[in-house]
């Protein structure tokens, strides 16, 4: 019997609603609520899931559908925690999972309980259909993505304590597989790289004194000039492989739109400088495109002084630094210091590595083909995400991740704008569409021989 996709969509929505009604706001998390729900669903269908966590309330759920072992596993993973919601700012309450206007509304509907429900549904379907798998399919719904760092309770903890449960040839997770508007052309983005973080403080020193007698060794003035120079100049242009792949695909996709020639220009340093100073000034895509071509250091905090009439001896800026593939903190600082100032003192607060996966793999081709099979007009573009995900904890285990959680969005909806926002919601039709695409990818990848 062919799969009844309408029923599958309805079932996916039910799981999503159930998950949205569990308050897994992090902090404190309480992700065991979601893990217990998923375990109940999976046990009822003959799975043998486990819940593991550093504490009873921070449960991670893992389930495995066995293949014949002739090929390595595929990992579908997601996080079940959500960021806080200011309920009085929402049109529909954030933990009620109401359905209105074709959407399911709630905190986590886009980031990322939608994907938890989608991946769960794919696992259930593979089992119900008795698909003969060559690979194990691992389903991991994990805790503590929104707050957790290296010492977190989610993937970071699992990768340390139970690495064998996660080992796979590839992982699929957030953020990609959905359509976005590229200069009037709708394209599907698949994330193949993410930037690393280098959070730091830079401190200027000077001579203390009385505010009534200004002198030219004022730490506050030194810092202001330094930050001003950074903002004016920015950091140098780079073209990592993943960005080059994005620009080539985007130039083809947007060939007949005003953005087409701009994607061409961005492929050289001089062309990029002209584009950012000209047609991209104030353009909604400017931050997204700039971030794929540059390391960035965004001032997010300033601190100095304790009394109005005292010139303090130091002043500091907090910078959210983001590094392209190929960089580490040392190379990043070597690029930042000449721009911000060699005389400042630098202190690294956090470093996480950038990640990059090739888009030239059979799995990438399969994801692109599946998107096209379900949307005849689909153009597929790999991209570099500026922010970081839990993928960084899987990479050291040898598990590269693609950001691929397929969803078809109405033309006026931008998924990234839903993340952490008021009125977060998921389009029901687009979610059902996503389950079909993901099911196709997983079924084919895990049954076909390479």
- Residues in contact with Zn ion by the rule CB under 5 A: 111-112, 174
DSSP 3-state percent helix, strand, coil across the chain (nearest 5): 35, 25, 40
Shortest separation between residue 363's beta carbon and Zn ion, angstroms: 21
Q: For residue 338, is it left (φ>0), alpha (ψ between -120 and 50) or beta?
A: alpha
Quote the DSSP letter at residue 389. Answer: -
| Active-site residue, selected from the candidate residues 11, 31, 145, 146 | 145
Write out the E strands in 269-313. Answer: 296-304, 310-311
Residue 192 and residue 371: Cα distance in Å, rounded?
16
What are the backbone angles phi and psi of residue 306, rounded to the nearest 5°?
-140, -10
Q: Indicate the residue among 111 and 118 with the shorter CB distance to Zn ion.
A: 111
Q: Indicate the residue among 112 and 329 with the shorter CB distance to Zn ion.
A: 112
Shortest separation between residue 319's beta carbon and Zn ion, angstroms: 23
Residue 341 and residue 129: Cα distance in Å, rounded?
62
Active site residue 164: no
Quote the DSSP letter at residue 89. Answer: G
- To 10 degrees, what angle do helices 241-253 and 286-293 make? 140
Q: Indicate the residue among 114 and 335 with the shorter CB distance to Zn ion.
A: 114
| Active-site residue, selected from the candidate residues 81, 146, 174, 390 | 81
Count of other CB atoms within 10 angstroms of residue 440: 19
Residue 399: strand, helix, or coil: coil
Q: Indicate the residue among 109 and 381 with the shorter CB distance to Zn ion.
A: 109
Active site residue 330: no
The answer for residues whose C-beta is within 8 angstroms of residue 13's C-beta and 6 or more apart is 99, 104, 117, 428, 431, 432
Q: Indicate the residue among 144 and 316 with the shorter CB distance to Zn ion.
A: 144
Residue 212 and residue 254: Cα distance in Å, rounded?
59
Residue 81, both tokens: 């925690």
Shortest separation between residue 108's beta carbon and Zn ion, angstroms: 9
Quote the DSSP letter at residue 236. Answer: P
Q: Indicate the residue among 295 and 389 with the shorter CB distance to Zn ion.
A: 389
The CB-nearest residue to Zn ion is 111
Count of other CB atoms within 10 angstroms of residue 115: 30
Count of other CB atoms within 10 angstroms of residue 234: 15
CA–chain centroid gap for 311, Å, is 43
Shortest separation between residue 389's beta carbon and Zn ion, angstroms: 7
- Whether the CB-CB separation of 318 and 340 falls below 8 Å is answered with no
Quote the DSSP letter at residue 348. Answer: E
Catalytic residues: 81, 145
């Amino acid at each position: 019997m062919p799969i009844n996709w309408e029923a599958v969509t309805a079932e996916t929505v039910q799981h999503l609603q159930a998950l949205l009604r569990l308050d897994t706001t992090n902090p404190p998390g309480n992700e065991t609520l979601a893990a217990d729900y998923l375990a109940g669903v999976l046990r009822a269908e003959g799975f043998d899931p486990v819940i593991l966590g550093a504490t009873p309330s921070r449960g991670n759920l893992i389930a495995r559908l066995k293949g014949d072992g002739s090929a390595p596993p595929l990992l579908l993973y997601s996080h079940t925690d959500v960021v806080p919601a200011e309920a009085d700012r929402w049109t529909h309450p954030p933990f009620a999972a109401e359905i209105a206007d074709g959407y399911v509304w709630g905190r986590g509907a886009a980031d990322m309980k939608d994907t938890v429900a989608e991946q769960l549904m794919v696992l259930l379907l593979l089992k119900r259909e008795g698909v003969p798998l060559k690979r194990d399919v691992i389903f991991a719904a994990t805790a503590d993505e929104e707050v957790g760092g290296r010492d977190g309770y989610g993937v970071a903890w699992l990768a340390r304590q139970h690495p064998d449960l996660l080992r796979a040839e590839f992982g699929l997770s957030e953020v990609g597989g959905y359509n976005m508007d590229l200069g009037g052309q709708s394209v599907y983005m698949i994330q193949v790289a993410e930037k690393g973080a280098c959070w730091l403080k830079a401190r200027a020193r000077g001579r203390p004194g009385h505010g009534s007698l200004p002198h030219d060794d004022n730490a506050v003035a030194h810092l202001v000039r330094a930050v001003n120079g950074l903002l004016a100049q920015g950091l140098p242009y780079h073209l990592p492989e993943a960005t080059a792949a994005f620009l080539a695909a985007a130039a083809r996709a947007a060939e007949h739109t005003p953005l087409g020639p701009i994607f061409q220009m961005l492929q050289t340093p001089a062309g990029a400088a002209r584009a950012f100073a000209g047609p991209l000034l104030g353009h909604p895509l400017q931050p997204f495109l700039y971030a794929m071509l540059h390391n960035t250091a965004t001032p997010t905090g300033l601190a100095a002084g304790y009394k109005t009439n005292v010139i303090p001896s130091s002043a500091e800026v907090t910078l959210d630094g983001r590094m392209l593939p190929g960089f580490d903190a040392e190379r990043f600082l070597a690029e930042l210091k000449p721009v911000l100032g060699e005389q400042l003192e630098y202190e690294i607060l956090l470093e996480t590595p950038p990640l990059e996966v090739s888009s030239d793999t059979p799995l990438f081709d399969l994801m692109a083909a599946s998107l096209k099979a379900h949307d005849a007009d689909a153009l597929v573009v790999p991209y570099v995400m500026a922010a970081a995900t839990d993928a960084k904890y899987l990479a050291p285990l040898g598990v590269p991740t693609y950001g691929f959680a397929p969803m078809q969005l109405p033309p006026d909806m931008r998924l990234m704008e839903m993340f952490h926002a008021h009125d977060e919601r998921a389009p029901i039709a687009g979610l059902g569409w996503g389950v079909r695409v993901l099911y196709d990818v997983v079924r084919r990848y895990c049954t076909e021989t390479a």
